[in-house]
Amino acid sequence: MSDVDSGPLRAPKPKAGTCIKCKTRPSTVVLRHVQYCKDCFLFATTGKFRSAFGKSAISNTTGHKAMVAFSGGPSSRALLHLMKGFQHVGSHQSGQKRLFDELVICHIDETAAFNGSSTLDMARVVVDTEYPDFTFHGQLIEDIYEDEALSSIDKKEKLRQLFAQAGSLTAKEDLLWHIKMHLLVKAAQKLGCTRLILGDSATRIAIKVISFTAKGRGYSLPLEIGGDIHGLYPNLVILRPLKDMLAKEIAIYDHSQGLLNSLVPATNFSTMAPPTASIDRATEEFIVGLDRDFPSTVSTIVRTASKLKLASSMNGQSRCALCHMPIQSGSKDWKQRITVQSTQCTRDSAPGTLTVPENILCYACQTDLSESEGWSRLADDASPSTQLEEFRSLGYPTLLTQDDMHQRIKDFLLDD
Protein backbone atom coordinates (compact mmCIF):
# COMPACT_ATOMS: atom_id res chain seq x y z
CA MET A 1 0.00 0.00 0.00
CA SER A 2 1.52 3.32 -0.98
CA ASP A 3 1.14 6.02 1.61
CA VAL A 4 1.69 9.69 0.98
CA ASP A 5 4.60 9.92 3.40
CA SER A 6 6.65 7.08 1.92
CA GLY A 7 9.13 9.27 0.06
CA PRO A 8 12.77 8.42 -0.69
CA LEU A 9 14.02 10.42 2.32
CA ARG A 10 12.17 8.27 4.80
CA ALA A 11 14.45 6.30 7.11
CA PRO A 12 14.47 2.58 6.45
CA LYS A 13 12.07 0.66 8.63
CA PRO A 14 14.02 -0.88 11.52
CA LYS A 15 14.41 -4.61 11.20
CA ALA A 16 12.36 -6.79 13.45
CA GLY A 17 14.29 -7.40 16.62
CA THR A 18 16.05 -4.06 16.62
CA CYS A 19 15.47 -1.33 19.21
CA ILE A 20 13.20 1.39 17.85
CA LYS A 21 15.19 4.15 19.58
CA CYS A 22 18.85 3.47 18.82
CA LYS A 23 18.09 1.25 15.83
CA THR A 24 21.33 -0.61 16.41
CA ARG A 25 21.09 -2.89 19.42
CA PRO A 26 18.82 -5.91 19.45
CA SER A 27 15.56 -5.37 21.27
CA THR A 28 14.92 -7.15 24.54
CA VAL A 29 11.74 -5.42 25.71
CA VAL A 30 8.34 -5.11 24.00
CA LEU A 31 6.01 -2.44 25.30
CA ARG A 32 2.77 -1.34 23.64
CA HIS A 33 3.89 -3.17 20.47
CA VAL A 34 7.19 -1.23 20.44
CA GLN A 35 10.58 -2.89 20.84
CA TYR A 36 13.40 -1.42 22.92
CA CYS A 37 16.85 -2.51 23.95
CA LYS A 38 17.56 -2.49 27.67
CA ASP A 39 19.52 0.77 27.68
CA CYS A 40 16.95 2.69 25.69
CA PHE A 41 14.15 1.26 27.82
CA LEU A 42 15.88 2.44 31.00
CA PHE A 43 16.58 5.82 29.48
CA ALA A 44 12.93 6.22 28.47
CA THR A 45 11.64 5.08 31.86
CA THR A 46 13.89 7.44 33.79
CA GLY A 47 12.97 10.26 31.44
CA LYS A 48 9.30 9.61 31.89
CA PHE A 49 9.74 9.63 35.64
CA ARG A 50 11.57 12.97 35.58
CA SER A 51 9.01 14.53 33.32
CA ALA A 52 6.23 13.46 35.68
CA PHE A 53 7.75 15.86 38.20
CA GLY A 54 8.48 18.44 35.54
CA LYS A 55 4.87 18.48 34.41
CA SER A 56 3.32 19.07 37.78
CA ALA A 57 2.37 22.64 38.48
CA ILE A 58 3.97 22.60 41.87
CA SER A 59 7.09 20.86 40.79
CA ASN A 60 9.37 23.17 42.73
CA THR A 61 10.85 20.68 45.04
CA THR A 62 13.71 22.56 46.61
CA GLY A 63 12.90 23.55 50.14
CA HIS A 64 10.55 20.59 50.43
CA LYS A 65 10.86 17.45 52.43
CA ALA A 66 9.07 14.53 50.78
CA MET A 67 7.73 11.24 52.04
CA VAL A 68 7.78 8.21 49.76
CA ALA A 69 5.26 5.49 50.57
CA PHE A 70 7.07 2.16 50.37
CA SER A 71 4.98 -0.97 50.76
CA GLY A 72 7.75 -3.07 49.28
CA GLY A 73 5.69 -4.24 46.30
CA PRO A 74 6.96 -4.00 42.69
CA SER A 75 5.71 -0.44 42.11
CA SER A 76 6.97 1.19 45.26
CA ARG A 77 10.23 -0.77 44.96
CA ALA A 78 10.77 0.78 41.52
CA LEU A 79 9.68 4.15 42.87
CA LEU A 80 12.36 4.04 45.53
CA HIS A 81 15.04 3.23 42.99
CA LEU A 82 13.87 5.90 40.58
CA MET A 83 13.87 8.46 43.41
CA LYS A 84 17.48 7.62 44.12
CA GLY A 85 18.46 8.27 40.52
CA PHE A 86 16.37 11.37 40.56
CA GLN A 87 18.02 12.85 43.68
CA HIS A 88 21.49 12.01 42.48
CA VAL A 89 23.47 14.82 40.89
CA GLY A 90 26.66 13.86 39.12
CA SER A 91 29.79 16.04 39.25
CA HIS A 92 29.23 17.23 35.69
CA GLN A 93 25.73 18.35 36.57
CA SER A 94 26.65 20.64 39.42
CA GLY A 95 24.34 23.31 38.06
CA GLN A 96 21.39 21.00 38.37
CA LYS A 97 19.41 21.36 41.52
CA ARG A 98 18.82 18.49 43.83
CA LEU A 99 15.21 17.78 43.94
CA PHE A 100 13.90 17.35 47.40
CA ASP A 101 15.77 18.61 50.43
CA GLU A 102 15.19 15.36 52.20
CA LEU A 103 13.43 12.09 51.52
CA VAL A 104 11.70 10.00 54.16
CA ILE A 105 10.76 6.46 53.20
CA CYS A 106 7.67 5.34 55.08
CA HIS A 107 6.77 1.68 55.37
CA ILE A 108 3.54 0.66 57.05
CA ASP A 109 3.63 -2.75 58.64
CA GLU A 110 0.04 -3.90 58.21
CA THR A 111 0.56 -7.46 59.39
CA ALA A 112 -1.31 -6.88 62.65
CA ALA A 113 -4.51 -6.87 60.62
CA PHE A 114 -3.75 -10.33 59.21
CA ASN A 115 -1.72 -12.14 61.85
CA GLY A 116 1.30 -12.24 59.56
CA SER A 117 4.96 -11.91 60.49
CA SER A 118 6.31 -8.38 60.63
CA THR A 119 7.61 -6.72 57.46
CA LEU A 120 9.16 -3.74 59.21
CA ASP A 121 12.72 -5.10 59.45
CA MET A 122 12.82 -6.26 55.84
CA ALA A 123 11.76 -2.84 54.64
CA ARG A 124 14.27 -1.15 56.93
CA VAL A 125 17.12 -3.29 55.63
CA VAL A 126 16.31 -2.46 52.01
CA VAL A 127 16.36 1.26 52.70
CA ASP A 128 19.37 1.27 55.06
CA THR A 129 21.62 -0.82 52.86
CA GLU A 130 20.70 0.45 49.42
CA TYR A 131 19.54 4.00 50.06
CA PRO A 132 21.58 5.29 53.00
CA ASP A 133 20.87 8.90 52.04
CA PHE A 134 17.18 8.44 52.75
CA THR A 135 15.58 8.41 56.18
CA PHE A 136 13.58 5.32 57.05
CA HIS A 137 10.34 5.66 58.96
CA GLY A 138 8.56 2.50 60.05
CA GLN A 139 4.97 2.59 61.13
CA LEU A 140 2.86 -0.14 62.70
CA ILE A 141 -0.72 -0.18 61.51
CA GLU A 142 -2.05 -0.70 65.02
CA ASP A 143 -0.56 2.67 65.96
CA ILE A 144 -3.57 4.21 64.30
CA TYR A 145 -4.80 4.12 67.91
CA GLU A 146 -2.75 6.77 69.65
CA ASP A 147 -4.13 6.13 73.11
CA GLU A 148 -1.04 5.65 75.27
CA ALA A 149 -2.99 3.69 77.85
CA LEU A 150 -3.35 0.86 75.36
CA SER A 151 -0.63 -1.75 75.11
CA SER A 152 0.59 -2.95 71.75
CA ILE A 153 -1.42 -6.15 72.19
CA ASP A 154 -4.56 -4.17 73.08
CA LYS A 155 -4.18 -2.07 69.97
CA LYS A 156 -3.77 -5.12 67.78
CA GLU A 157 -6.86 -6.66 69.31
CA LYS A 158 -8.85 -3.48 68.82
CA LEU A 159 -7.80 -3.37 65.18
CA ARG A 160 -8.70 -6.98 64.62
CA GLN A 161 -12.12 -6.41 66.12
CA LEU A 162 -12.65 -3.43 63.88
CA PHE A 163 -11.90 -5.51 60.80
CA ALA A 164 -13.90 -8.46 62.05
CA GLN A 165 -17.09 -6.39 62.23
CA ALA A 166 -16.41 -4.31 59.11
CA GLY A 167 -18.65 -6.33 56.81
CA SER A 168 -17.78 -7.63 53.35
CA LEU A 169 -14.30 -8.09 51.98
CA THR A 170 -14.92 -4.98 49.85
CA ALA A 171 -15.58 -2.94 52.98
CA LYS A 172 -12.53 -4.44 54.72
CA GLU A 173 -10.23 -3.59 51.82
CA ASP A 174 -11.54 -0.05 51.73
CA LEU A 175 -11.06 0.31 55.47
CA LEU A 176 -7.48 -0.95 55.25
CA TRP A 177 -6.70 1.58 52.54
CA HIS A 178 -8.24 4.44 54.52
CA ILE A 179 -6.21 3.50 57.60
CA LYS A 180 -2.98 3.34 55.60
CA MET A 181 -3.72 6.71 54.05
CA HIS A 182 -4.41 8.16 57.53
CA LEU A 183 -1.11 6.84 58.78
CA LEU A 184 0.85 8.16 55.81
CA VAL A 185 -0.72 11.60 56.05
CA LYS A 186 -0.24 11.78 59.80
CA ALA A 187 3.37 10.60 59.59
CA ALA A 188 4.14 13.06 56.80
CA GLN A 189 2.66 15.93 58.74
CA LYS A 190 4.41 14.93 61.95
CA LEU A 191 7.79 14.71 60.22
CA GLY A 192 7.34 18.02 58.43
CA CYS A 193 6.99 16.55 54.94
CA THR A 194 5.10 18.70 52.46
CA ARG A 195 4.97 16.12 49.67
CA LEU A 196 3.65 12.58 49.80
CA ILE A 197 4.80 10.43 46.87
CA LEU A 198 2.73 7.34 46.04
CA GLY A 199 3.66 4.50 43.67
CA ASP A 200 0.36 4.05 41.81
CA SER A 201 1.07 2.75 38.30
CA ALA A 202 -1.16 3.43 35.29
CA THR A 203 -2.51 -0.11 35.66
CA ARG A 204 -3.33 0.47 39.34
CA ILE A 205 -4.96 3.80 38.54
CA ALA A 206 -7.10 2.23 35.80
CA ILE A 207 -8.23 -0.43 38.27
CA LYS A 208 -9.02 2.27 40.83
CA VAL A 209 -11.00 4.31 38.31
CA ILE A 210 -13.28 1.36 37.64
CA SER A 211 -13.53 0.00 41.17
CA PHE A 212 -14.10 3.46 42.69
CA THR A 213 -16.81 4.06 40.09
CA ALA A 214 -18.38 0.75 41.10
CA LYS A 215 -18.26 1.75 44.75
CA GLY A 216 -19.99 5.09 44.22
CA ARG A 217 -16.84 7.18 44.59
CA GLY A 218 -17.33 9.10 41.34
CA TYR A 219 -17.72 12.42 43.10
CA SER A 220 -14.25 12.37 44.63
CA LEU A 221 -12.55 10.26 41.93
CA PRO A 222 -10.39 13.06 40.44
CA LEU A 223 -8.98 13.71 43.93
CA GLU A 224 -8.21 10.04 44.57
CA ILE A 225 -6.21 9.22 41.46
CA GLY A 226 -4.69 12.54 40.35
CA GLY A 227 -0.95 12.84 39.80
CA ASP A 228 -0.70 16.12 41.61
CA ILE A 229 -3.28 16.76 44.31
CA HIS A 230 -3.16 19.74 46.60
CA GLY A 231 -5.67 21.06 49.05
CA LEU A 232 -6.82 17.67 50.22
CA TYR A 233 -4.69 17.76 53.36
CA PRO A 234 -3.22 20.85 55.01
CA ASN A 235 0.32 21.59 53.77
CA LEU A 236 0.62 18.29 51.99
CA VAL A 237 0.63 17.61 48.26
CA ILE A 238 0.02 14.08 46.95
CA LEU A 239 2.13 13.07 43.93
CA ARG A 240 1.88 9.96 41.75
CA PRO A 241 4.91 10.02 39.44
CA LEU A 242 4.38 6.46 38.14
CA LYS A 243 0.91 7.22 36.85
CA ASP A 244 1.92 6.87 33.19
CA MET A 245 3.81 3.61 33.60
CA LEU A 246 2.17 0.26 33.04
CA ALA A 247 2.57 -2.46 35.65
CA LYS A 248 4.47 -4.42 33.01
CA GLU A 249 6.89 -1.55 32.44
CA ILE A 250 7.54 -1.40 36.16
CA ALA A 251 8.07 -5.14 36.39
CA ILE A 252 10.64 -4.98 33.57
CA TYR A 253 12.34 -2.08 35.30
CA ASP A 254 12.54 -4.01 38.59
CA HIS A 255 13.90 -7.01 36.76
CA SER A 256 16.52 -5.10 34.80
CA GLN A 257 17.71 -3.26 37.91
CA GLY A 258 17.91 -6.41 40.00
CA LEU A 259 15.29 -5.22 42.45
CA LEU A 260 13.17 -8.35 42.51
CA ASN A 261 15.19 -9.93 45.31
CA SER A 262 14.45 -7.10 47.68
CA LEU A 263 10.69 -6.97 47.45
CA VAL A 264 8.78 -7.13 50.70
CA PRO A 265 6.18 -9.91 50.51
CA ALA A 266 2.66 -8.62 51.05
CA THR A 267 -0.31 -10.36 52.56
CA ASN A 268 -3.73 -8.87 52.66
CA PHE A 269 -7.38 -9.79 52.85
CA SER A 270 -7.68 -10.84 49.24
CA THR A 271 -4.49 -12.87 49.01
CA MET A 272 -5.48 -16.16 47.41
CA ALA A 273 -9.09 -14.97 47.26
CA PRO A 274 -11.08 -15.77 44.11
CA PRO A 275 -11.89 -12.88 41.74
CA THR A 276 -15.46 -12.85 42.97
CA ALA A 277 -14.42 -12.11 46.54
CA SER A 278 -14.49 -8.32 46.42
CA ILE A 279 -15.07 -5.39 44.07
CA ASP A 280 -11.34 -4.65 43.99
CA ARG A 281 -10.44 -8.23 43.12
CA ALA A 282 -13.12 -8.50 40.44
CA THR A 283 -12.04 -5.21 38.90
CA GLU A 284 -8.38 -6.18 38.87
CA GLU A 285 -9.23 -9.43 37.12
CA PHE A 286 -11.45 -7.61 34.64
CA ILE A 287 -8.96 -4.87 33.72
CA VAL A 288 -5.92 -7.12 33.51
CA GLY A 289 -7.87 -9.57 31.33
CA LEU A 290 -9.28 -6.86 29.10
CA ASP A 291 -5.86 -5.27 28.70
CA ARG A 292 -4.51 -8.58 27.49
CA ASP A 293 -7.09 -8.68 24.66
CA PHE A 294 -7.20 -4.92 24.03
CA PRO A 295 -3.76 -3.55 24.95
CA SER A 296 -4.81 0.09 25.08
CA THR A 297 -7.43 -0.50 27.79
CA VAL A 298 -5.36 0.82 30.68
CA SER A 299 -4.18 3.97 28.95
CA THR A 300 -7.67 4.74 27.64
CA ILE A 301 -9.17 4.49 31.13
CA VAL A 302 -6.43 6.66 32.61
CA ARG A 303 -6.97 9.23 29.88
CA THR A 304 -10.74 9.23 30.41
CA ALA A 305 -10.25 9.81 34.13
CA SER A 306 -7.80 12.64 33.51
CA LYS A 307 -10.59 14.53 31.77
CA LEU A 308 -12.75 14.56 34.88
CA LYS A 309 -12.81 17.71 36.93
CA LEU A 310 -13.86 18.45 40.46
CA ALA A 311 -17.57 19.01 40.83
CA SER A 312 -18.59 22.63 40.94
CA SER A 313 -20.56 21.91 44.12
CA MET A 314 -17.42 20.88 45.98
CA ASN A 315 -16.42 23.00 48.91
CA GLY A 316 -13.62 22.47 51.34
CA GLN A 317 -15.84 22.12 54.37
CA SER A 318 -17.60 18.81 54.55
CA ARG A 319 -15.15 15.96 54.60
CA CYS A 320 -15.83 12.31 55.20
CA ALA A 321 -14.75 11.17 58.65
CA LEU A 322 -13.37 7.93 57.23
CA CYS A 323 -11.80 8.66 53.82
CA HIS A 324 -11.43 12.43 54.20
CA MET A 325 -12.95 13.03 50.75
CA PRO A 326 -15.57 15.74 50.20
CA ILE A 327 -19.16 14.74 50.96
CA GLN A 328 -21.69 15.29 48.20
CA SER A 329 -24.81 16.59 49.84
CA GLY A 330 -28.14 15.01 49.00
CA SER A 331 -26.76 11.62 48.05
CA LYS A 332 -28.50 9.85 50.91
CA ASP A 333 -31.85 11.29 49.96
CA TRP A 334 -31.14 10.35 46.33
CA LYS A 335 -30.67 6.74 47.33
CA GLN A 336 -33.69 6.61 49.61
CA ARG A 337 -36.03 7.86 46.90
CA ILE A 338 -34.98 5.08 44.54
CA THR A 339 -34.59 2.36 47.17
CA VAL A 340 -37.97 2.39 48.87
CA GLN A 341 -37.90 0.16 51.93
CA SER A 342 -41.30 0.64 53.47
CA THR A 343 -44.89 1.10 52.47
CA GLN A 344 -45.21 4.50 54.11
CA CYS A 345 -44.72 7.06 51.41
CA THR A 346 -42.68 9.50 53.43
CA ARG A 347 -39.21 10.78 52.98
CA ASP A 348 -38.27 9.32 56.34
CA SER A 349 -37.30 5.73 56.28
CA ALA A 350 -38.82 3.15 58.55
CA PRO A 351 -36.89 2.09 61.64
CA GLY A 352 -34.34 -0.60 61.02
CA THR A 353 -33.57 0.39 57.45
CA LEU A 354 -30.14 0.94 56.07
CA THR A 355 -29.28 4.52 56.76
CA VAL A 356 -26.03 5.92 57.99
CA PRO A 357 -25.45 9.56 58.88
CA GLU A 358 -24.67 11.68 55.89
CA ASN A 359 -23.27 14.44 58.07
CA ILE A 360 -19.99 12.70 58.67
CA LEU A 361 -19.66 10.08 55.91
CA CYS A 362 -19.49 10.25 52.12
CA TYR A 363 -21.75 8.11 49.91
CA ALA A 364 -19.20 5.33 49.37
CA CYS A 365 -18.24 5.10 53.05
CA GLN A 366 -21.94 5.05 53.99
CA THR A 367 -22.29 2.02 51.75
CA ASP A 368 -19.30 0.30 53.36
CA LEU A 369 -20.49 1.17 56.86
CA SER A 370 -24.01 -0.06 56.17
CA GLU A 371 -22.49 -3.55 55.87
CA SER A 372 -20.77 -3.34 59.23
CA GLU A 373 -22.14 -4.52 62.51
CA GLY A 374 -21.78 -1.17 64.21
CA TRP A 375 -23.60 1.12 61.80
CA SER A 376 -26.90 1.00 63.64
CA ARG A 377 -25.23 2.68 66.59
CA LEU A 378 -24.57 5.74 64.48
CA ALA A 379 -27.85 7.45 65.20
CA ASP A 380 -29.14 9.26 62.19
CA ASP A 381 -30.67 12.17 64.05
CA ALA A 382 -27.78 12.86 66.43
CA SER A 383 -25.61 15.94 66.05
CA PRO A 384 -22.49 15.56 63.91
CA SER A 385 -20.19 15.71 66.93
CA THR A 386 -22.12 12.98 68.70
CA GLN A 387 -22.00 10.92 65.53
CA LEU A 388 -18.27 11.45 65.32
CA GLU A 389 -17.85 10.31 68.92
CA GLU A 390 -19.90 7.18 68.26
CA PHE A 391 -17.92 6.55 65.11
CA ARG A 392 -14.66 6.72 67.08
CA SER A 393 -16.02 4.50 69.81
CA LEU A 394 -16.57 1.79 67.18
CA GLY A 395 -12.83 1.82 66.63
CA TYR A 396 -12.79 3.75 63.36
CA PRO A 397 -9.89 6.15 62.95
CA THR A 398 -10.65 9.62 61.66
CA LEU A 399 -8.65 12.65 60.70
CA LEU A 400 -11.57 14.85 61.68
CA THR A 401 -11.41 16.33 65.15
CA GLN A 402 -14.16 17.68 67.35
CA ASP A 403 -12.79 21.08 66.42
CA ASP A 404 -13.40 20.38 62.72
CA MET A 405 -16.93 19.35 63.52
CA HIS A 406 -17.44 22.41 65.63
CA GLN A 407 -16.08 24.55 62.84
CA ARG A 408 -18.53 22.99 60.45
CA ILE A 409 -21.62 23.55 62.53
CA LYS A 410 -20.67 26.69 64.41
CA ASP A 411 -23.00 28.88 62.37
CA PHE A 412 -25.90 26.85 63.65
CA LEU A 413 -24.95 26.88 67.31
CA LEU A 414 -26.47 29.45 69.60
CA ASP A 415 -24.35 31.18 72.22
CA ASP A 416 -25.02 30.07 75.77
Partner 1 sequence: MVKTCVICDAARAVLKRPKTGQQICKECFYHVFETEIHHTIIDNHLFSRGDKVAIGASGGKDSTVLAHVLKTLNGRYNYGLDLFLLSVDEGITGYRDDSLETVKRNQQQYDLPLKIVSYEELYHWTMDEIVKEVGLKNNCTFCGVFRRQALDRGAAMLDVDHIVTGHNADDIAETILMNILRGDTPRLQRCTEIVTTGESLIRRSKPFKYTYEKEIVMYAYFKKLDYFSTECTYSPNAYRGYARTFLKDLEAIRPTAILDIIQSGEAFQIKTEVKMPVQQTCVRCGYMSSNELCKACVLLEGLNRGLPKLGIGKTERLRKQHNLQVSEKPVITETAW
343 binds partner 1 (CB under 8 A): yes
329 binds partner 1 (CB under 8 A): no
The smaller minimum CB distance to partner 1, of residues 42 and 314, is found at 314
The smaller minimum CB distance to partner 1, of residues 131 and 219, is found at 219
Closest separation in Å from C-beta 12 to partner 1: 27
303 binds partner 1 (CB under 8 A): yes
Contacts of 219 (CB under 8 A, 6+ apart): 311, 314, 325, 326, 328, 331, 362, 363
Options 49-57, 112-120, 190-198, 340-348: segment touching partner 1 (CB under 8 A): 340-348
Residues 214-233 that bind partner 1 (CB under 8 A): 214-219, 221
d(CA 365, CA 313): 19
327 binds partner 1 (CB under 8 A): no
341 binds partner 1 (CB under 8 A): yes
393 exposure class (CB count in 10 Å sphere: 0-12, 13-18, 19+):
exposed
d(CA 100, CA 321): 31
Residues 156-215 that bind partner 1 (CB under 8 A): 168, 170, 209-210, 212-215
Closest separation in Å from C-beta 222 to partner 1: 9
373 binds partner 1 (CB under 8 A): no
276 binds partner 1 (CB under 8 A): yes
d(CA 123, CA 114): 18
Please state, in angstroms and as integers, the Cα–Cα distance from residue 109 to each residue in 83, 113, 118, 120, 186, following that order. Answer: 22, 9, 7, 6, 15
Q: Binding partner 1 by CB under 8 A: which of 153, 334, 401, 406?
A: 334
d(CA 375, CA 166): 9
Contacts of 256 (CB under 8 A, 6+ apart): 38, 41, 42
376 binds partner 1 (CB under 8 A): no
Closest separation in Å from C-beta 193 to partner 1: 30
Q: Binding partner 1 by CB under 8 A: which of 290, 295, 386, 395?
A: 290
The helix or strand, by DSSP H or E, that contains position 292, with its residue range, turns out to be helix 279-293
Closest separation in Å from C-beta 144 to partner 1: 25
d(CA 294, CA 286): 12
Helix axes 169-190 and 152-164, enclosed angle (nearest 10): 140
20 binds partner 1 (CB under 8 A): no
Asked if 199 and 52 count as a contact pair (C-beta separation under 8 A), the reply is no
Closest separation in Å from C-beta 99 to partner 1: 29
Asked if 357 and 409 count as a contact pair (C-beta separation under 8 A), the reply is no
354 binds partner 1 (CB under 8 A): yes
Contacts of 248 (CB under 8 A, 6+ apart): 31, 203
Closest separation in Å from C-beta 406 to partner 1: 28
Options 28-36, 124-132, 360-368, 394-402: segment touching partner 1 (CB under 8 A): 360-368
DSSP character for 340?
Answer: -
273 binds partner 1 (CB under 8 A): no
**Positions that interact with partner 1 (CB under 8 A):** 168, 170, 209-210, 212-219, 221, 275-279, 282-283, 286, 290, 294, 297, 300-301, 303-305, 307-312, 328, 331, 334-335, 337-343, 345, 354, 363-364, 367
